[in-house]
Amino acid sequence: MNEKLTFEDLAPGIVTLQCATRFEKGRKIDYFISYVNTRRGNIEMSQWQSMVRDLIRETEEEELFQQLLEWVKEEMNISKNEKERENYALHLHASRIFDDEGWVDFVPFNRKYRPARLASAGLIPVVADCCGKEFITTLAQLQNVMGKVRCPYCGRFSNYKKKGNEDKDECNKEEG
Ligand SMILES: [Zn+2]
């Protein structure tokens, strides 16, 4: 277990709760300990969180983590509690969410913070039925959400058309 840890090792799987008992002033108190399942086995939650934090520091991804934290706070509306938001961002970071083209925020997040990552993604312009406005999404998102795509203007999952496919003819004539 001394080989270097990677984010793959710490990628979070299911979280389980285990009941435990302690005695305080002669009284029996039941409580829960949560564990995160990873490639390295089940790791107690707070220990896992500090391992992820250490790994972010070692891999010099602190700036990216701060961006994710800002995104969780300003765009995702997860919680008013700072600690909860930080833990949520640790979970997302260890999952490498920012590289997951199936993530609904993949395009807006990377457009804001990592335009170079967007340049290497397969991007597809679409128009959602709800708002009728054009936006860009990824192939992974079009394949994942049962024929619907999340509209960035209203947040709904809607039917859509690929931009440029409005015409029934497959008319690919060059100009002239
Ligand atoms: Zn919409």
User: What DSSP state is assigned to residue 74?
Assistant: I
Predicted local distance difference test score (pLDDT) of residue 176: 40
> Given a cut of 50, is residue 171 above it in pLDDT?
no
> Given a cut of 80, is residue 22 above it in pLDDT?
yes
Query: 10 Å Cβ neighbour count for 72?
Result: 20
Q: Which pTM does this prediction carry?
A: 0.83
Cα 153 to averaged position of ligand 1 atoms, centre (Å): 5
Among residues 170, 107, 108, 156, which one has the least CA distance to residue 128? 156
The mean pLDDT of the chain is 90
At residue 174 the predicted structure's pLDDT band, cuts being 50, 70 and 90, is very low
> Given a cut of 70, is residue 166 above it in pLDDT?
no
Cα 151 to averaged position of ligand 1 atoms, centre (Å): 5
Phi, psi of 40 (to 5 degrees): -90, 15
Cα 152 to averaged position of ligand 1 atoms, centre (Å): 7
Cα 149 to averaged position of ligand 1 atoms, centre (Å): 10
What is the sign of the dihedral through the CA atoms of 152, 99, 113 and 7? Answer: positive
- Distance between CA 169 and CA 3 in Å, rounded? 58
Cα 136 to averaged position of ligand 1 atoms, centre (Å): 13
